[in-house]
Amino acid sequence: MNLEFEQSKTDVLILGAGGAGLFAALHASNLGPDLDITIAVKGLLGKCGCTRMVQGGYNAAMANEDSIERHFMDTIEGGKWLNNQDLAWTLVNEAPRRIRELENELGCFFDRNPDGSLHQKAFAGQTFDRTVHKGDLTGIEIINRLAEQVWSRGINRLEDHRAVEFIKSKDGSGLAGVLMIDMRTGKFRLVQAKAVLLATGGGPTMYTYHTPSGDKSCDGMAMSLRAGMPLRDMEMVQFHPTGLVAGPGTRITGTIIEEGLRGYGGYLLGGDKERFMHKYDAKVERATRDIVSRGMFSEMRNGNVGPNGGLFITMKHLDPKEVRSRFKGMVDRCRDCGFDLVSGDVEVVPTAHYMMGGVEFQNDCSTELPGLYAAGEDTGGVHGANRLGGNGVANSTVFGGIAGDAIAKWVPKEGVFREPDLDAAKAAIAAALYPFQIEGGHMPDIRKKLYGAMWEDAGILRDAKSLARARVAVDELHSELMRTGVADESRAYNLSWHDWLNLESQIIISKVVIEAAVVRKDSRGAHFREDFPEIHDLENSRFTKASLDNGKITITSEHVEFTRVRPGETLIDD
C-alpha cells in the first residue's frame, strides 16, 4: 500500500467555502494582510456548499419596532432553553452589523421597501418580521459577492480537495495540520497550518429526504470526533416542513420550498386537500419547523397523503401577482418540476435540513484543540434544540467573521508550525485507502438502507423501540460498508471511493445522533420522543455531549448555564 503524501504550509487553512469560510477568509485578510491564507473546498469555490442554497433570508433586528432582546428571546424560546446563551446573544447582536457589512462593504443588494428601508419578511416561530432577503434567492446573492471578494484578493485556493483527518502535533500539544485528498489526482496532501478553521458545514444527508448540497456528508464532525473533540446536541436534527416531492428517481426531491411561503400565508393541505395544522398548533402553518414537521409526519403516517406519499402546499388563495413577484425562484423551480405554485397545489414532504449539534466552541470560535477554530453548521450551542428559519446564514456569517478576526490576532502572537505526527498521517492514509483492499459489495444498497433506517426510526418521531432498531440497522450497515470495496483502482476523480468515504462519515454521525437521542428522555424542539412527549424541568435543562472513546460512542450531559435569562423570565420590556 502506497502511503506517500505531499506536504505544504500555509499560515491559515480554512476548510469550507460557504458563508462561514469565506467571511473568515475576508476578515482574516483585512486584519492580517501579511498572512498566507488558503481556502480548501470539496468542490469549486462559489459553486458548492449550503449557503449558496439559502432561499429565505437572514434574521437581523433592523427595524425600529424590533430589538436585539426580542430576537434573542425568540431564539432562546425556539431553542427550548438548550442554547448556549452567550453564543446566541453574540448571534443576534452581530447580525445587524453583518447585514450592513454585506450591503455597504461587500456589495449585496437586498430587497427594499418603497421608502428605501430594508424589506423584512415573516418567518415561522418569530414574533417580528425580521428576515432580510433578496427575493427567495438570498444565498446566491451572498455567496456571489463573497466569492468575488475572495478572488479579487488573491487568497489561495485548494479546490476539489477533501479533508480526511486532523493531524495533531508529534508532542500532542495542538493541531499541526490537515490531511487532504486532491480529488483530481487521488494523491494525499498534508497541509500544515498555524491555525485551521473548520467550516465544512454539517448536513443531515443520511435521511431519505434531505436538503443539503450534494457534497455534504458530515466529514468535519466525523473528523472532530476522531480527534477527541466533543459534539453537543447531536440528537437535534432539524426537518424543514416543505421539501419538494418531484416523484421517484429524481434528486430534486427533498429540496426546499422556502419557509417564506408559509410566512406569507400559504396553506398546508393533506391528501384530502383539507388544512390540518390547526390540529397540532394554534399558530397553524406559522408554527416552528419542528411542530409543523411533526404535524405533517403524523398526517403522512395516518395515510392522508398525495400521489407520491407527500402532502401539499398551496398559494392559490393569495394574490397571484404578489406570489409571482415575491417568490419568483420558487415559482420557477416548481414550474420546472411540473407544478404550478401560483394557482395549483405543490406536493411536499418534511426534509432533513440542518444539524443544531456540532463541535463545542467559544465566543471567539476557538475550540479545546489549540490551533483549531470552528464556525457555522459544524458547531453546536447557538441554536439549542431548534434553529429559527433565517438564523442559519446569520450564524455562518456572524461567526465566520468573528473566527477570521480571532485567527488574524492569534496567529502572529501564538501561532506556530507544529511538527506533525507523520505516523498518524500514514495511519489516516491507510484507513482512507481501505476500500481499495476489499472486493465486492454494493454501496447504493447501503446508502438506501441508511436513508430508510434513519428516516423511519431516528427521524421526526422517535421512541425507545425505534431507536433500538435504528442502532442495530446502522451497526449492521457499518459492518457491511467495511465488507464493501471500490473496484476501480484509479484514484483520480474516483467517485465510488469518495462515496465510500461519504458513507463512512454519515454512518459515524448517524450513530452519534441515535445514541444522543436514546439518552434524552424528554422532547425538545427537533427531538421528539413519543414515549416521553413532554418537556421536563426547564430549570434544570441539560445538553448532551458525545465523545469517541476507543471506537465507542459515549454520551454524557451537562447543565445549561442560563447566563442571561432563565425560564419564565424575559429580556423584553412590556
DSSP one-letter string for 532-553: B-SPP-GGG-EEEEEEEETTEE
Confidence band (pLDDT; 50, 70, 90) for 256? confident
Q: What is the residue whose three cell numbers read 405533517?
A: 296
Q: Is residue 564 among the annotated active site residues?
A: no
Q: Do 4 and 28 contact (CB within 8 A), yes or no? A: no
- Catalytic residue, chosen from 71, 130, 133, 262, is 262
Q: Do 559 and 541 contact (CB within 8 A), yes or no? A: yes
Q: Do 257 and 244 contact (CB within 8 A), yes or no? A: yes
Q: Is the pLDDT of residue 249 over 90?
A: no
The tens digit of pLDDT for each residue in 61-116 reads 999 999 999 999 999 999 999 999 999 999 999 999 999 999 999 999 999 999 99
Q: Which pLDDT score, from 0 to 100, does residue 46 have?
A: 87
Q: Which of 482, 431, 472 is CA-nearest to residue 450? A: 472
Domain regions of the chain by residue span: 240-352, 437-533
Q: Is residue 119 among the annotated active site residues?
A: no
Q: Which pLDDT score, from 0 to 100, does residue 360 have?
A: 97
DSSP category for residue 527: B
Residue 140: exposure state from Cβ atoms within 10 A (0-12, 13-18, ≥19): middle
CATH number of 437-533: 1.20.58.100
* Fold assignment, 240-352: Flavocytochrome C3; Chain A, domain 1 (3.90.700)
Mean local confidence (pLDDT), 181-205? 96
Q: How many Å apart are CA 219 and CA 457, to the nearest integer?
A: 23
Residue 111: exposure state from Cβ atoms within 10 A (0-12, 13-18, ≥19): middle
Poorest-pLDDT segment among 353-357, 401-405, 473-477, 484-488: 484-488
Question: How much is the pTM?
Answer: 0.95
Mean local confidence (pLDDT), 301-316? 94
Q: Which of 336, 330, 406 is CA-nearest to residue 365? A: 406
Domain 437-533 in the same topology as domain 240-352: no
DSSP category for residue 56: S
Q: Do 346 and 312 contact (CB within 8 A), yes or no? A: yes
Residue 502: exposure state from Cβ atoms within 10 A (0-12, 13-18, ≥19): buried
- Catalytic residue, chosen from 130, 240, 286, 333, is 240
Centre a 10 Å sphere on the Cβ of residue 361 and count the other Cβ atoms it contains.
26
The tens digit of pLDDT for each residue in 348-405 reads 999 999 999 999 999 999 999 999 999 999 999 999 999 998 999 999 999 999 999 9
